[in-house]
Each structure stands twice: as C-alpha cells, then as structure tokens.
Amino acid sequence: MLFLKSLILFLVTALAEIIGCYLPYLWLKQAKSAWLLIPATLSLIGFVWLLTLHPQATGRVYAAYGGVYISVALFWLWAVNSVMPTWTDWLGVGLCLLGMAIIILGA
C-alpha cells in the first residue's frame, strides 16, 4: 500500500514540476503570454509541497522520484509534443521504474 501511495504521489509531483517548467518555456520560446508565469509559479509551489508529503527520507525520495519523473516526461513528450518515444526510451523508463521500485520497497 505504501508503494502504491508513493507511486501516485510521485506521478502528481512530476506533473506539477513539468507543468511548472513547461509554461515558462512556452512564454520564453514560443512567445506565449507572460500570464502563464502565474500558474507556472503555483504549479512549482505545489511541486515543492508535494515532495514534503513523502514519508521516506528526503534523499531516498529524490532518488526514487527521478525514475518516475523520467517516465512522466516521456509521456509528456508523446502526449503534449506529439513525439513518439523510441524503444530505447521505453527500455530506459522500465529500468528507471525498476530502480525506483527497488529504492521504495527497500526503505
């Protein structure tokens, strides 16, 4: 149950981080409205707060979170940027998630 809770929390955390970084990217690189910085800031504040909700030690949380972040980033690449990840991307994601599971389950 702790593993599932951690995984869901990691997924929400990763989305908050990616959205918080993607919106300024739109403003800086695609000349979108500077108003995007407001939800970007709120998203990054949410990201930081979400990291504090994990019950494991901080270093372990950051290490395991990295694997989930990579997975969500590749999904974002596919869903938002319409770029299909390669088989090596999927292999890398699988290895990262395996590493995340080992870290969380070993806690």
Greater confidence (96 vs 105) lies with 96
Q: Which of 94, 12, 102, 92 is nearest to 52 (CA)?
A: 12
What is the arithmetic mean of pLDDT over 10-37? Answer: 95
Q: How high is the pLDDT of residue 53?
A: 86
18: pLDDT confidence band, cut at 50, 70 and 90?
very high
82: pLDDT confidence band, cut at 50, 70 and 90?
very high
Residue type, 14: A
Q: Does 33 score more than 70 pLDDT? A: yes
Task: Please tell me what DSSP assigns to residue 52.
Answer: T
27: pLDDT confidence band, cut at 50, 70 and 90?
very high
Torsion on CA atoms 66, 81, 47, 57, rounded to nearest 10: -10
Q: How high is the pLDDT of residue 57?
A: 62
Please report how the helices 58-79 and 2-29 are oriented relative to each other, as an axis angle in degrees rounded to 10. 60
Q: Does 94 score more than 90 pLDDT? A: yes
